Amino acid sequence: MKIPFSPPFIDDAVINEVTETLRSGWITTGPKCKALESEIQKLSGAGSVLTVNSWTSGAILVLTWLGLKDGDEVIVPAYTYSATALAVLHAGGTPVMVDVNEDFNICVEQIKKAITPRTKAIIPVDIAGYPCDYDAIMALVKSPDIMAKYEATSPIQRQLGRILVLSDAAHSIGAHYTETRRAGGVTDIAIFSLHAVKNITSAEGGAICLNLPEPFDNETLYTQLRQFSLNCQTKDAFSKSKAGGWRYDITGMGFKMNMADVNAAIALAQIRQIDKLYAERKRVFERYATLLSKYPWAMIPPTVNAQGKESSYHIFALRIKGITEEQRDQMIDLIASKEVAVNVHFIPMPMLTLFKGLGYKITDYPQAYANYAHEISLPIYPQLTNEMVDIVVDAVIKAYDHVVLNHQ
């Protein structure tokens, strides 16, 4: 049986929503985007939500709004997808990479050591959908000694008066931070990814969740960022299409980063079923955990804590104790030979050509490397049956036996 890694969830509700949009006569930014923003705001508890065409675009938009200048620093984990740091570079800043914890998420102690007067933002990443320690991170940026170091270089930075915390929540839509707070509503700003392989997808897309403190008004900021995402045009295409609504102005140098209604329709139909989809992902995760936890070499990824934190179950990031990177790669090849697709999340950024060329070295991030070298991401999605989970687990066990046990 062929088992793909991460096919999108497309049912009749999704098809009908997209078809309705196509037949409506309006397919770019319009009412479906507004409806999706409303659903994400309800789910996350965010102050306001803006949809854009990707997580990366959203991060570039926010960091540009923040007013990054040459020499400004943004702290990011070494263990994440490259977009986290690429957004910083595109916005004119310098990514400062720090190591992570064994649970994959950014190390708060390493953040503290990396802060300088040039630090303007921190981008923690919810790897696999398990939220970072945001209470500790928010307390850190508000602490008197860290605030005393802060040197603003833009009007927005002066208004905030401290380091911005921008959560890379690409994996964590639907996750719980506590029993009463959910991902997207915990930090100054959070950005969800709605990419094709995510729990909720618009094929390509992202959603910026705004939770800034006073004196910022998140609804006003939504309007400003929305205009910024439309080339700083004072009217979107939907408004311009109304009779007599042709006149517009361009008020600045914006970007073209808006989401289209035809994309929003996919995510809209899915998010209305998120409780069901979440439960199915949790079922798959728990079956993996039950079947694999009996093996001493299997490290089950974190999902919950005593304070009510709970993963979005986006990735089952299995780690294999005591193996080398080469043995991990051999295991993946053997699993693939059984027509089971697995993955690795992620290759740490200092191992990639671009970042090596910029001077980053993986030897500076030992935990990031250890997590990577031992990690195999197993398929997890609602369509995965228990029988399919059992096949995946069997392929993993046989690969371990062949690569490790047979060569001891």
* CATH code, 352: 3.90.1150.10
Does 282 lie in the same domain as 261? no
Does 367 lie in the same domain as 312? yes
5 in any annotated domain: no
Number of domains in the chain: 2
The per-residue pLDDT for 246 is 85
Beta pairing partners, 51: 207
The per-residue pLDDT for 408 is 62
Q: Is 383 exposed, middle or buried (0-12, 13-18, 19+ CB in 10 A)?
A: middle
Does 359 lie in the same domain as 253? no
The per-residue pLDDT for 237 is 76
Mean pLDDT calculated for residue range 152-176 = 98
State which of 220, 255, 271 marks the end of a domain: 271
Q: Would you give the DSSP letter of residue 80?
A: S
The per-residue pLDDT for 235 is 81
Q: Would you give the DSSP letter of residue 407?
A: G
Does 396 lie in the same domain as 286? yes
Kindly report the length of the chain: 408
Higher pLDDT, 90 or 239: 90
Does 365 lie in the same domain as 246? no
Does 379 lie in the same domain as 345? yes
Does 287 lie in the same domain as 197? no
CA-CA distance, 101 to 108, in Å (whole number)? 9
Does 333 lie in the same domain as 249? no
Single out the residue of 98, 102, 92, 150 nearest to residue 124, CA to CA.
98
369 in any annotated domain: yes
Share of the chain above pLDDT 90, in %: 95
State which of 213, 243, 271 marks the end of a domain: 271
Q: For 234-285, how does the pLDDT look when each residue is reduced to its tens digit (9 = 90+)?
A: 888 777 777 777 898 999 999 999 999 999 999 999 999 999 999 999 999 9
6 in any annotated domain: no
State which of 248, 271, 294 marks the end of a domain: 271
pLDDT of 407 higher than 80: no
Q: How confident is the model at residue 406 (pLDDT cuts 50, 70, 90)?
A: confident
Does 239 lie in the same domain as 91? yes
7 in any annotated domain: no
Q: Which structure tokens are listed for 379?
A: 């398929």
The per-residue pLDDT for 239 is 79
Q: Which structure tokens are listed for 373?
A: 């070298």
Structural domain harbouring 140:
12-271
Q: Which structure tokens are listed for 132?
A: 């970072």
Does 233 lie in the same domain as 246? yes
CATH number at residue 113: 3.40.640.10
4 in any annotated domain: no
403 in any annotated domain: yes
3-state secondary structure of 96: strand
3 in any annotated domain: no
Averaged confidence pLDDT in the chain: 97
Q: Which structure tokens are listed for 46?
A: 């965010």
Does 232 lie in the same domain as 293? no
Higher pLDDT, 1 or 355: 355
Mean pLDDT calculated for residue range 69-83 = 98
Ranges of beta strands (E only) in 93-239 are: 94-98, 119-122, 164-168, 189-193, 206-210
Mean pLDDT calculated for residue range 346-365 = 98
Mean pLDDT calculated for residue range 120-130 = 98
Does 200 lie in the same domain as 67? yes
